[in-house]
C-alpha cells in the first residue's frame, strides 16, 4: 500500500483532494501527476473524466493502471512531461501535493503548459510551511521530518501562501482561484509540540495569526496570454470558516485567565497612579497656599512697618507744630493702643 493512498470523502470540503476533484469538474481529459494508487483518478473517472497518470513509484501506481487511459512511470526531475504526452492533450493537469517534491517545480509547470488544450487549466495543492503547528514546533526547536504531511521527509521545497503564488506566476500562470484547507495547530500530531511547556498566550497568538490555520493551498491557474498584464490575485477562500476549526481548549482558558489577571493588575496600577497624581496635586495646592500665606504675611509686615514710619513722622510733626488734626490724633491713638 502506498503511503499516499487515502480514502476520499467527497462530502468533506476540508480536504485538498475533495477540493481538487470538485474544481476539475466532469467530462474532462485529465493528467493526474503523482497519481499514486489512483484514488483521485478514480474519483475523477466517476465524474466522467478520462484520466491518465504519472508517478515515480511503479509499485503504487500499478494499482491504478487498469483505471487509467495511460500510465507513465518516470522521474520528473530528469524526464519532463512533454517527453511522454502530446501537446494540447489535456483539459486539466493536476499536481496534487507533488510540486514540493521536485527539484525545480517551476520548470515542470512551464513544461506542462504545452500539454494543455486552449481552455486548459493547472490544478495544484501544496502544503503550507507557515502552518501554526510548524511555528509552535520551531519555538521549541522542533523540525522533525515525517512519513507524510507538512514535513514529509521527501519534500525538497517548502511554500507559504506567497511562495505558492510566486511559483505559479513565475511559471507563466495566472491564478484564477486560491483556496485552503484549514486545521488548528494543535489538532495534528505530525509536529512534535509540547503545548504544556508553551505560554498559553503564545499558542493563542499563533492561532490568530494570518495563514496559521491554512494547512494546504489549492489553486487553479491558466497560462498567461501573450501581451496580457496579470490582474490582482484572487482572495483566499478557506474550505471552512477558520472559526469552525480554531480550538478553544485549556490553553484558550489559560490565556483568557492570564489576560483577565493582567487587566486587573493594570487597573490596580492605573488606580494607584491616579491616587498618586491626586496626592501630588493636593501637595501642589497646599504648597501654593503656603507660599501665598507667606507672601501675605511678608506684605502685612511691610505695611505695618510703613504705617509705623508714617505715625512716627506724624508724632514728631505734632510736637514740632503744636498740634495735629483730629483724624491724625485718632490714628496715633489707635496705633499706640495696638502696639
Please state, for a pLDDT cut of 70, what percent of the chain lies above it. Answer: 93
Angle, alpha carbons 188-192-196 (nearest 5°) = 90
pLDDT mean over 234-248: 96
pLDDT mean over 316-320: 71
Question: What's the pLDDT tens digit per position in 205-240?
Answer: 999 999 999 999 999 999 999 999 989 999 999 999
pTM value is 0.79
Q: pLDDT value at position 1? A: 45
Pick the range with the lowest mean pLDDT from 32-46, 137-151, 272-286: 272-286
Question: What's the pLDDT tens digit per position in 158-169?
Answer: 999 999 999 999
Q: 216-225, 265-274, 278-287: which has the highest mean pLDDT? A: 216-225
Q: pLDDT value at position 283? A: 85
Q: Which residue in 181, 185, 180, 183 sits closest to 204, CA to CA?
A: 185
The answer to whether residue 306 scores a pLDDT higher than 90 is: no
Please state, for a pLDDT cut of 90, what percent of the chain lies above it. Answer: 70
pLDDT mean over 142-162: 96
Q: pLDDT value at position 322? A: 59
pLDDT mean over 306-330: 70
Q: pLDDT value at position 162? A: 98
Distance CA 100, CA 125 (A): 10
- The model's confidence at residue 323, banded by pLDDT at 50, 70 and 90, is low
Amino acid at each position: 500500500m502506498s503511503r499516499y493512498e487515502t480514502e476520499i470523502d467527497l462530502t468533506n470540503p476540508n480536504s485538498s483532494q475533495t477540493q481538487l476533484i470538485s474544481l476539475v469538474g466532469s467530462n474532462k481529459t485529465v493528467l493526474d501527476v503523482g497519481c499514486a494508487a489512483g484514488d483521485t483518478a478514480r474519483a475523477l473517472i466517476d465524474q466522467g473524466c478520462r484520466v491518465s497518470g504519472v508517478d515515480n513509484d511503479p509499485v503504487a501506481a500499478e494499482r491504478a493502471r487498469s483505471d487509467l487511459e495511460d500510465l507513465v512511470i518516470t522521474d520528473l526531475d530528469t524526464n519532463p512531461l512533454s517527453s511522454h504526452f502530446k501537446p494540447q492533450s489535456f483539459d486539466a493537469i493536476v499536481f496534487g501535493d507533488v510540486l514540493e517534491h521536485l527539484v525545480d517545480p517551476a520548470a515542470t509547470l512551464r513544461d506542462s503548459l504545452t500539454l494543455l488544450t486552449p481552455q486548459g487549466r493547472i490544478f495544484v495543492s501544496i502544503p503550507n510551511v507557515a502552518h501554526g503547528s510548524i511555528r509552535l514546533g520551531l519555538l521549541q526547536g522542533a523540525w522533525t521530518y515525517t512519513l507524510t504531511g507538512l514535513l514529509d521527509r521527501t519534500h525538497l521545497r517548502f511554500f507559504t501562501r506567497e511562495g505558492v503564488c510566486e511559483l505559479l506566476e513565475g511559471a507563466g500562470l495566472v491564478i484564477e482561484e486560491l483556496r485552503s484547507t484549514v486545521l488548528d495547530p494543535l489538532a495534528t500530531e505530525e509536529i512534535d509540540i509540547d503545548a504544556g511547556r508553551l505560554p498559553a498566550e503564545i499558542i493563542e497568538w499563533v492561532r490568530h495569526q494570518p495563514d496559521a490555520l491554512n494547512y494546504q493551498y489549492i489553486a487553479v491557474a491558466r497560462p498567461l496570454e501573450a501581451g496580457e498584464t496579470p490582474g490582482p490575485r484572487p482572495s483566499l477562500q478557506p474550505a471552512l470558516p477558520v472559526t469552525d476549526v480554531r480550538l478553544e481548549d485549556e490553553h484558550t482558558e489559560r490565556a483568557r485567565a492570564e489576560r483577565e489577571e493582567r487587566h486587573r493588575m493594570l487597573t490596580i496600577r492605573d488606580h494607584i497612579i491616579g491616587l498618586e497624581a491626586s496626592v501630588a496635586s493636593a501637595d501642589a495646592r497646599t504648597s501654593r497656599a503656603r507660599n501665598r500665606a507667606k507672601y501675605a504675611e511678608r506684605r502685612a509686615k511691610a505695611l505695618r512697618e510703613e504705617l509705623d514710619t508714617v505715625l512716627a513722622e506724624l508724632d514728631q510733626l505734632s510736637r514740632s507744630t503744636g498740634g495735629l488734626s483730629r483724624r491724625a490724633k485718632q490714628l496715633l491713638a489707635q496705633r499706640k493702643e495696638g502696639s
